Amino acid sequence: MILESIGIQDFRKLADRLVIDELTPGLNLICGPNEAGKSTIAEAIRIAFLERYKVSGLGGLVPKSRPDGQPTVEVSFDIRGVKHTLKKQFVRKQRCELRIGTQVFTEDEAEEELAKLVGFSRAERGASRPEHAGIPGLLWVRQGQTNDVRDPGGHASGYIREALSKLAGGETSRGDDALINKVQGELFKLLTEKAKKPTGSLAAVEADLSRLQNERDTLEQQLRNFDEDINRLGTLQAEFGEVQRSRPWEALQEKAAAALKRAESFDQMERKHKELAQKLEIAVMEHKALLQQEQLAVELETSAKNDSEALEAALAAAGQAGEAYQRAADCVATAQKANDEANALLETANAAVLANELKRQLEAQRSDISRIEEALGKATEASEVVRELTRQAALTEIDAEKMKTLQAVCDQMVPLQARRDAALTRIEYRLTGTITVDGAPVEGEGVVLLDGQKTIGLPGLGELVIIPGVSDVSELIAALQDLETERGKLLLELGVSSLVDAVERHTRWKSLTAEKTSHAKILDAHAPKGLDALRTELEQARGRLAATQERLQGLPDVSSALPVADAKASFDTARIQLEAARTTLMSASEAKTQTAAGASGIRERLEGSEARLKDPEFVARRQRCQTDLVDKASHISEYKRNLEMSTQQLDIAKLDDPRTEAERYTQSATLMRAEQLARQQKISSLRVQLETLGGTGLGDRLAQTVATIDQAESRRGELRRRADALNLLESVLVEERDAAVAALRKPLTGRIEHYLKRIFPTGEMTVDDGLTPVGLLRGSQFETLDSLSYGTQEQLGFLARLAYADLLQSAGKPTLLLFDDAVVHTDDARRDAIKRALLDAASRHQILVFTCHPSAWNDLGVKQRHLEDLKAASRAAA
């Protein structure tokens, strides 16, 4: 099977039409970055072949960018020289068309024919599942599933076994012997294929037998229950008659009434107890209030006595405070006078200090004026020099760029002049006479450079014409002449006679500029803000000098002034003494005021207390209060005795709560009546139930059910024996078939070994009876596939699919290998081995490899087809 072209439209990420044609029969590499659409192309091929065109649930094929798109896949392929074309549309206008040469198949017929051609089975309904994928499911590998070969191999095992059988010359139907299929068909009518559980008629017989046994058990239980209910009915009737005669609930009701009477008497006792407690509480509160009134009267008498004594002490303290205040006032006056005298002396001393400071400032200001005048002179001189140097620099300034160009021209001329001198013919002469060179006389010793043809006259002998033999002298001379012309032009523009003159002039200009900068710094040092600012500063200094002289003249005579420290010490002493005297005076004033106020307050409080104690109404109320205190104390004693007796009576009565007893007796009577009523209802229900069951013929039904069970057990025995015989026959046939499969396994292991030795030269892959790989044997060590690293599993899965393809192709099955980003987890050495195996397989099969690592596959000698280029070509063709 050779794919020739693939056309995809409105399929997931591929909204625009994409056409991949000119696919080669061997290896095809399709490259692109992640999410470019490689897996979408592989999935489009898989869905076009394996999915039914009418299957629902494929709405995800519609591109999100084109929600009204029509997912379409068209594949052209060749099988044994016959051209095939498959076109499918999904989701909306669902259709399927398969062209085989000149034949055209459509819809379901086309899909049936396609399944036969490629080697897979159609799902009866719903989406295709892995077990339907057959050969494509094994050889078309999704991204990240290269390592998984057992499940796809198991689903394709029928096709593989059929291919091996054809290679061995045997006959088989999808890998199973016809007789085994027949036996299994009969066996599987009675037992399930895997679990060997009953099914079909055997399951139906066993189900009927189980139902009949349950029915028998139910009837037997009902018969036992019928007998038990008869006995129970007699017992209930006897109990009902006995209780109905004795009527025990009536006695309980009488006990409840008696308990209620006791509860009423207990309530009266509680009310009396509460009344006594309340009276006691009120009496105690009244007695307490009377005690408080008497206490207040006693406190008032005590307070009057204390205030009388305190008044005498307060009056004495007030007299002492007045005398102390007068003494303090005299001390303040004396201290104030001493403070004023000390302050006058301090001011004179401070004036003397200020006079000295002003004299110092005068000297500093005169010095400052001298400094500013000197700086102004130097700054003025530097300003004049800067102006003159600026003028001279302007006269000597030269264009630096042109001078650089002149220097470059002269530098170019030096090697050319050297080359010219080296190239010119040199004639060294040492003459005793005179000759001519181009008519000019030459004598003595020297050198003649011939920059062109020269005629040398030899007196008495004739002439010599000398022509230089170097061919490029004229070119050198021409180049030198051009440079000399340019040099002359530059010298003229710069106004100098030579490069040396220009350099000297430029050096002079830089010297003047540097000197100007130096004097400018001197100017900036003396007048950083300019000459005008310096002049202004001079005027300000002179003004400050005049002001200082005026302040000095305005000071008083300080010839007799004390030293400041002495004057300050005298003033501080006087000030401290004044402040101490004032503090004493303030304290004496506060003490005088407070003692006078205290005496006045005590006098007022004493007068009020004495007036209240002498008030006739207060005296009468106090006498009544004292009489009531005695009466209340007597009542409280009586109330306490009565309350204690009532408490004892209540405690005795609380030992048995009559109200609780009444509730208990009432509840018990109610329960007894309810039990009797329930007993009566059970008797009625049992009578009805027994009458109903008695008329159903339980015994006859049970006997009939037992006979039916015997028949069902006989039928189950027959079917069980048939199933056991068929199972034994199927086991014998399968063993024979498996022996044949073991012989068929050798070609598969041989093809696997053909590829495996490239990576594991001494390794051997083991294959189970289902013809799928189970492990790797290296030397004496066996490892299951699951125990190997992911990368090794992936490599073995890749090689095993190449081996399967070889076997299927040898049996005439269409083979197409498709790998989506396979062998990613592989080192360079194993990848090279896999590449060699891939190229070997590509000589027999068409292989499509989708990869996002083109650099890993660029040494296969196969053109890489980049997905972006394919998209661009498809757009251009559209």
HEC profile of 652-698: HHHCCCHHHHHHHHHHHHHHHHHHHHHHHHHHHHHHHHHHHHHCCCH
Identify whether 230 is part of a domain.
no
Mean pLDDT of 755-779: 82
Mean pLDDT, the chain, rounded, equals 82
**Sheet holding 781-784: strands in order across?**
763-767, 773-778, 781-784
pLDDT per position as a tens digit, 501-538: 888 888 888 888 888 888 888 888 888 888 888 888 88
Does some domain include residue 766? no
- Residues counted in the chain: 878
Is 63 within a domain? Answer: yes
In order, the DSSP letters of 284-320 are: HHHHHHHHHHHHHHHHHHHHHHHHHHHHHHHHHHHHH
pLDDT band at 72 (very low <50, low <70, confident <90, very high): very high
In a domain, 427, yes or no: no
pLDDT for position 681: 85
Q: What is the pTM of this model?
A: 0.42
* Tens digits of residue pLDDT in 610-645: 787 788 887 787 788 878 778 878 888 887 888 888
Which whole-number Å values give the CA distances from 544 to 357, 369, 445, 540, in the listed order?
A: 14, 10, 90, 6
Domain enclosing residue 39, as ranges = 2-149+772-877
Task: Give the residue ranges of DSSP H helices in 188-247.
Answer: 200-246
The Cα 599–Cα 308 span in angstroms is: 10
User: pLDDT class for 174, splitting at 50, 70, 90?
Assistant: very low
Model confidence at 743, pLDDT cuts 50, 70, 90, reads: low
Residue 366 lies in a domain: no
Q: What is the CATH number of the domain that holds 842?
A: 3.40.50.300
- The tally of domains found in the chain comes to 1
Residue 656: what pLDDT? 66
User: 175 pLDDT band (50/70/90 cuts)?
Assistant: very low
Nearest 5°: the CA angle 353, 354, 355 is: 90
Percent of the chain with pLDDT over 90: 9
Residue 250 within any structural domain of the chain:
no
Edge-to-edge order in the sheet of strand 440-450: 440-450, 425-437, 454-458, 462-466
One-letter amino acid for residue 329 of the chain: A
Half-sphere exposure of 250 (CA within 13 A, CB side): 5
Dihedral Cα 695, 696, 697, 701, nearest 10 deg: 180
* Average of per-residue pLDDT across 769-778: 80
Integer Cα distance of 573 and 579 in angstroms: 10
pLDDT band with cut points at 50, 70 and 90 for residue 739 = low
The long-range contacts involving 389-398, CB below 8 angstroms and separated by at least 24 positions, are 389/512, 389/515, 389/516, 389/519, 390/516, 392/512, 393/509, 393/512, 393/513, 393/516, 396/505, 396/508, 396/509, 396/512, 397/509, 398/494, 398/496, 398/502, 398/505, 398/506, 398/509
Q: Give one DSSP letter per residue of 494-558, joined into a string.
A: HT-SSHHHHHHHHHHHHHHHHHHHHHHHHHHHH-TT-HHHHHHHHHHHHHHHHHHHHHHHTS---
Res. 172: pLDDT tops 80? no
| Each residue's pLDDT tens digit, 4-52 | 999 999 998 888 899 999 999 999 999 999 888 899 999 999 999 988 8
What are the pLDDT digits (tens) for 196-227?
A: 888 888 888 888 888 888 888 887 787 777 77
Q: Check pLDDT > 50 for residue 173.
A: no
What was the pLDDT predicted at 77?
93
pLDDT, tens digit, 9 for 90 and up, residues 233-251? 788 888 888 888 888 888 8
Report d(CA 416, CA 414) in Å as an integer: 5
Q: Does residue 236 form part of some domain?
A: no
Structure confidence at residue 167 (pLDDT)? 66
430 has pLDDT over 70 = yes
Q: Which of 155-159, 546-550, 737-741, 805-809 is the least confident region?
A: 737-741
> How many Cβ atoms sit within 10 Å of the Cβ of residue 410?
17
Q: Hey, is 835 helix, strand or coil?
A: helix
In a domain, 120, yes or no: yes
pLDDT tens-digit series, residues 315-363: 887 778 778 878 888 888 888 888 887 787 777 777 777 777 878 888 8
Quick: pLDDT tens for 667-709.
888 888 888 888 888 888 877 777 676 556 666 777 788 888 8
